A and B are shown apart, each in its own frame.
Chain A
Amino acid sequence: MNNFPWLTTIGLIPLIGSVVVMLVPKANGALAKMVALFFSVVTLGAVVVMALQFDANSAEPFQFVESYSWIPAFGINFSLGIDGIALVLIALAATLVPVVILGGWNEAVEAQGSVKGYFALILALETLMIGVFAATDVFLFYVFFEVMLIPVYFMIGRYGGPQRSYAAVKFLIYSLLGGLFMLASLIGLYVVSAQITGTGTFDFTTLVGLDIDPDVQKLLFLGFFFAFAIKAPLWPFHTWLPDAAGQSQPGTSVLLIGVLDKVGTFGMIRYCLEIFPAASTFYAPVVITLAVVGIFYGAFIALKQTDMKRLFAYSSMSHFGFIVLGIFVFTSIGQTGSVIYMVAHGLSTAGLFIAAGYLISRRGGSAQLSSFGGVNKVAPVLAGFFLIAALSSLALPGMVSFIGEFLVLLGTFQQYMWLGALATVGIVITAAYVLRVYQKSMTGPLNPDCAGMKDLNGREITALVPIAALTIILGVFPAPLLNVVNPAVDRVMTTIGATDPAIEVGLAPIDSTVSEGSAE
């Protein structure tokens, strides 16, 4: 079974599904949805089977490796392979797609575009998401990275809210701009590899092994980092996100923020850190500053948002600050924390947006907090799921987001004590804005406009149960995540030549710098 092309298969299933969905007669929207759901569940099943065969302790950096020659003239191969980080992110994507299809069952209306088109786009996007995480050829990664924009552009621009075309164009141009810088760096990387080895290559493993001149690294790093910082989104490249999230359908937002944005942070670990270790160390202070600014900036603005979807977008920006912070402090605890945080954030975002989507569709499309109030009275199940997602967003201990957030903060604290302490203060503001949303929408006197609101039906509950269950189960028992992520992070740490700060264990006398720093 080891030679079975798992990744290609898993990537192809949703693509085939997408074609099949498009072949369904236009009048039969319900059938198209069923077909889409079927293919997404099959994909999830295949991912689970693959994950079970994943060997966490393998000595190889990548598993399920496949490679086919694509453009030999430029040393470009269609090569796939995953490490633990890519595996958990593929699993996240494969989990969220069926949830989004089920939760967004009625998101596409015939008036805006074909119903089946929306679901075909979701499946096509799934193929691309799997591809972008599985690619081990930098050029292939770039292709997936850019092509991914197209389905999302249509999902926002065709099926979104009143300002959808503005939001879609803003999203596309922002992302393309980042992508162009990345392309320039990519070509530069090829040229550098040709200079060093004689034959240019885009193969990731070969590129990691190259000893690139630090000054060249610093230039090439910027191109990649810029693209990823826009994607992530890092302050101050974030303004496309609130518009895109505010205008798109909740399902689109889930995939956009829950998975696509993770490509940015994934790219930072995989490409920025490993290919350009010297440059990463050089720029780390700047990146860390941006990340910490982002944590507070996003959180403060989220405090004052009145539109639920925009609020979640800003809160995500704050969370991405944590993720980037964990990556660039160069401790294994911080980086593992970041990967866990990515998964946790994907789950909590999915829960929040889907639950908010249910609310919004019941209120005729208004996402304003003032349109709600006292919903708990009429729709307690909806309120319950919303609360679980909200608590996951504020990283309640016992949920997987807590493990991610705590590890990020701990990793930061190890390296930069005062910065870690500062970032920890962010958890108070997070609690403030998350509970504000819950208070305004779910509690208090019942808003007369919400009086007839129905509670969730079976389909809607089915979409949210896996999210809530995973959030709690992985929080109590995170070993499945840690087992696969730890070796991958260790490899990254070795590649970039970083070591964890030493700890004065037990009987040894305490490091004087530590104690002096804390004595004040």
Chain B
Amino acid sequence: MNPTNYVILASVLFSIGAIGVLVRRNAIIVFMSVELMLNAANLAFVAFARMNGNLDGQTVAFFVMVVAAAEVVVGLAIIVTVFRTRQSASIDEPNLLKY
């Protein structure tokens, strides 16, 4: 199959993720959208690795997964803590960190 299609798929997934981050208010959904963007990037890396015939992209994909896992740990912990104090998972509500 033409590897370009994987790249296109990755772009579509990335855009969906980006739009999700921008328009959704629920922190969990935003979080999932971020994951979607990361995985879109992973898909692109793998596709490029295939296209170039080396393993660099594959390696980076693994790094991204590790980073994503670490990010999930920290991010979910923050969301849970925020939810406990505010009884809400909306990301528009905690806006004290300004000016």
Task: Assess A/B contact in the complex (Cβ within 8 A).
Answer: no
B-to-A contact residues, CB < 8 Å: none
